[in-house]
Structure formats: C-alpha cells, structure tokens
C-alpha cells in the first residue's frame, strides 16, 4: 500500500485555509465572469469561452491526479503557496498576451494549480475528529468560497472588462491569498502516513458520491463558463456581474442549511431535494415577468447547484480514516473535474438555440433527481439510511 507523509487530524486550525480561500475566491469569482466578457475587447471570438472553460477544467482534472503527492512531500502550507504562485503567473500571462493559444495554455495551467489549492484546503479542513465537525468545517469552506466568489462579481462593475487593469487586480488578489500561509506558520495538519485509496476501495465508495460530484461539475462548469454570456444577451455588463453575484450568494446562503441537514437527512435524498429545487428555480427564471421573480430564480439556482458538491464529498468521506481523507478529496475533485470538462462543451452546443443553456441544466437536474431517488430507495431496502449518528460538534 502506497504511503506518503501527509496528514493528521490533530486539532489543526481552520483559520489559515479559510482566510486564504476567501481571498482566492474573490479573485477567482471576478476572473471566471471576466474571461467570457473580455473576449470581444481583446479581439477574440465568443466561441472561445466554452473552450476556455473546458480547458481550465481539464487542467483541474490533471491537477487532481497529482496534488495529493505534492501535498504529501511539501506539507499543506508550502503546497498552498506554490499553487497560488502558479495561478498568479497564469493571470499575468493573460494580461500581457491576448492570443487564443496563450489563453488556452494559461487556463490549463491555472486549472492544474487550482486543483492543488482545492485539495490542500479541503483536506486541511476535513481533518476533523467527528463527522459533524467535518460537515461544519465544509459548510464554512463553502460559505467562504461562494461568499468570496459573489463579492468578486462586483469587480466587473468596479474595474470593467477592458485592458490589463482587471487582470492585474485579479493577480493582486491571488497574491494576497498567499499571505495567510506565509505569515501564520502554525495550525496546519501534522505529518503522518497518508494512505492512498486503492481501486477496490474506490469501488466501495458510494456511487451517489461520484454522481453528485460529476453532476456538480456538469452544472457549475456551465454556470461559471457560460451563464454570463446567456445574461449578456439581455443585460449590461454591470447587471451581469450583479446577477452572477446573486447566483453565487444563493450558493453561499444555502451552506448553513447543507451543514445542518448533512448529518440529519440521508445524503442521496438530500441531493435529490436540491435537484428538485434546481428544477423549480429554472421554471421561476423562465416564467418570471418581473425582475424580482427572475432574481429569485437565479438565487435558488445557485443554492441548488452549489449544494451538491459538499453533500457528495461528505458522503464519500463518511466512513474513511483520517489517513485517507486527502485521497478521497482528490478523488472527488477528479470526479467533479470530469463533469466540469464535459459540461461547458455540451452546454456551449446547446446555446446554439434559444434557451439552450437552461434546457441543459434541466436535463442535468432531472436525471440526477431520478438517480438519487432510486439510490435512496435502494439504500433503505438494504437498511442503510445514510444518516450519521449524533456526535458532539468539535471544530
């Protein structure tokens, strides 16, 4: 069995990863909406947007295969700094060279580095002693990620989409995310033997966890990469930024509810309920006759879309020892990345017809709803309800 020196759940502090993640999320949220909106001003086609999204997630896929080994050799703090330096370099490259090939290469490299950031932060926070503590920390992680992402959307109105200035602001924010691990040297997980998950153990992880992560990638890849273009057809750039912020605020607002429900409701059933909410949100968006109804639909869409991943990853990690948490986080990120690579390409093709993006999201939510309901029934017939026993919260 392969072992690398990595992790101990020994009372590590969530302070560093949460502060760093918050700054990272502001920069990332700004950049994800900026990229598709900035193509015209730089003489590049809108058709490039779906490929930039897919190549980024292809890098995320590749990075998810190697990140755990890097963390094992360097430790969480040093690995986080190294990955963030790589992200800053790619943004600087995009700011100085406006060529499709350069942007595609930069986004791929950024995807590899961002995968490392996520594996470091997720595994750092998941190194808790109890299932409830993990759920609470993951809720904090998701709230920081989506709160920062929502705040980042406001950068479009503040700094615009033209010239090098918006990208330099993004690079500065990514650089600021390096300060917490550089300045605060205590609180990271201590090095112990980290055990890889072998193929037989991969098969034993719940299928619903894999499906939840893949569908999360299918949906979020399309939302991040293409929803700004869908909204741009009807609204100004400033309005697009505000509407994207509403979507992500929905994802942030739902995280306390996800954390509370995670240990009380069967996880496959919980994912089914959020998929149903996603379908209802799209109906609200499509039939809304006033702005408030449309914004409410986008808010609930964000809540439904961003709830799937934390439920799926806690399901995957539920019965694992601390030594296998990094490998599980890497595996779930790999599953998410597979969906994220495919999603923008399929959704991009769907956008060739009016309303195509929303139809794509309906298919994703509806198929997952049916699967999770079948999974729930199967679990109950086997006497496994997927609800964690009540444990004291310890963060």
d(CA 300, CA 280): 8
pLDDT tens, residue order, the chain (395 aa)? 344 444 444 456 678 888 899 999 999 988 988 888 888 878 788 778 888 888 988 898 888 778 878 887 888 888 999 999 999 999 999 988 888 899 999 999 999 999 899 888 887 877 765 666 666 777 777 778 878 888 888 888 888 878 788 999 999 999 999 998 888 877 666 654 455 555 555 666 788 999 999 999 999 988 987 888 888 888 877 788 888 889 988 988 888 888 888 878 889 999 999 999 999 999 999 998 888 999 999 999 999 999 999 899 888 877 665 666 667 777 887 888 888 888 888 988 888 888 889 999 999 999 999 999 999 988 887 765 554 433 333 33
Residue corresponding to tokens 């912020």: 245
What architecture is the 15-186+206-381 domain classified under in CATH?
Answer: Up-down Bundle (1.20)
d(CA 220, CA 55): 15
Residue corresponding to tokens 């496959």: 268
d(CA 270, CA 133): 19
pTM for the whole structure: 0.72
d(CA 356, CA 334): 27
Q: What are phi and psi of 87, to 5 degrees?
A: -65, -45
Nearest to 124 by CA among 12, 290, 247: 12
Tokens of 296: 């409410």
Q: What are phi and psi of 122, to 5 degrees?
A: -65, -45
d(CA 393, CA 130): 7
Model confidence over 50-65: pLDDT tens digits? 888 889 888 988 887 7
Please report which helix (H) or strand (E) contains residue 57, including its range: helix 48-74
Burial class (CB in 10 A: 0-12, 13-18, 19+), 175: middle
First-to-last C-alpha distance (Å) of the chain: 30
Partner residues linked to 194 by β-bridges: 4
3-class SS of residue 276: helix
Phi-psi region of 163 (alpha: psi -120 to 50; beta: other; left: phi over 0): left
């Amino acid at each position: 069995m392969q072992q690398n020196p990595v992790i101990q759940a020994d009372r590590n502090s969530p302070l560093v990863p949460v502060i760093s993640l918050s700054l990272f999320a502001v920069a990332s949220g700004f950049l994800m909406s900026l990229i598709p909106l900035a193509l015209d001003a730089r003489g590049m086609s809108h058709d490039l947007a779906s490929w930039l999204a897919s190549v980024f997630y292809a890098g995320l896929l590749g990075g998810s295969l190697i990140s755990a080994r890097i963390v094992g050799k360097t430790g969480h703090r040093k690995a986080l700094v190294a990955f963030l330096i790589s992200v800053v370099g790619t943004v600087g490259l995009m700011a100085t060279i406006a060529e499709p090939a350069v942007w595609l290469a930069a986004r791929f490299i950024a995807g590899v580095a961002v995968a490392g950031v996520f594996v470091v932060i997720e595994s750092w926070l998941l190194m808790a002693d109890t299932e409830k503590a993990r759920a609470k920390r993951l809720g904090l992680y998701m709230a920081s990620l989506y709160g920062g992402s929502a705040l980042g959307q406001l950068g479009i109105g503040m700094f615009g989409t033209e010239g090098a200035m918006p990208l330099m602001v993004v690079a500065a924010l990514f650089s600021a995310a390096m300060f917490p691990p550089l300045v605060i040297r205590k609180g990271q997980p201590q090095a112990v033997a980290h055990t890889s998950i072998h193929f037989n153990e991969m098969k034993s992880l719940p299928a619903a966890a894999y499906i939840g992560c893949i569908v999360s990638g299918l949906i979020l890849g399309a939302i991040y990469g293409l929803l700004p273009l869908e909204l741009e057809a009807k609204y100004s750039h400033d309005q697009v930024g505000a509407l994207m912020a509403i979507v992500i605020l929905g994802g942030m607002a739902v995280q306390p509810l996800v954390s509370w429900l995670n240990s009380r409701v069967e996880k496959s059933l919980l994912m089914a309920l959020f998929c149903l909410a996603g379908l209802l949100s799209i109906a609200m968006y499509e039939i809304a006759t006033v702005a408030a109804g449309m914004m409410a639909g986008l808010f609930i869409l964000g809540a439904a879309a961003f709830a799937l991943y934390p439920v799926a990853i806690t399901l995957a990690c539920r019965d694992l020892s601390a030594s296998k948490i990094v490998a599980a986080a890497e595996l779930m990120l790999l599953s998410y990345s597979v969906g994220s690579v495919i999603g923008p390409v399929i959704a991009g093709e769907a956008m060739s017809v009016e309303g195509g993006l929303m139809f794509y999201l309906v298919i994703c939510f509806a198929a997952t709803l049916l699967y999770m309901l079948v999974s729930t029934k199967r679990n109950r017939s086997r006497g496994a309800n997927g609800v964690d026993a009540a444990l004291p919260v310890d963060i």
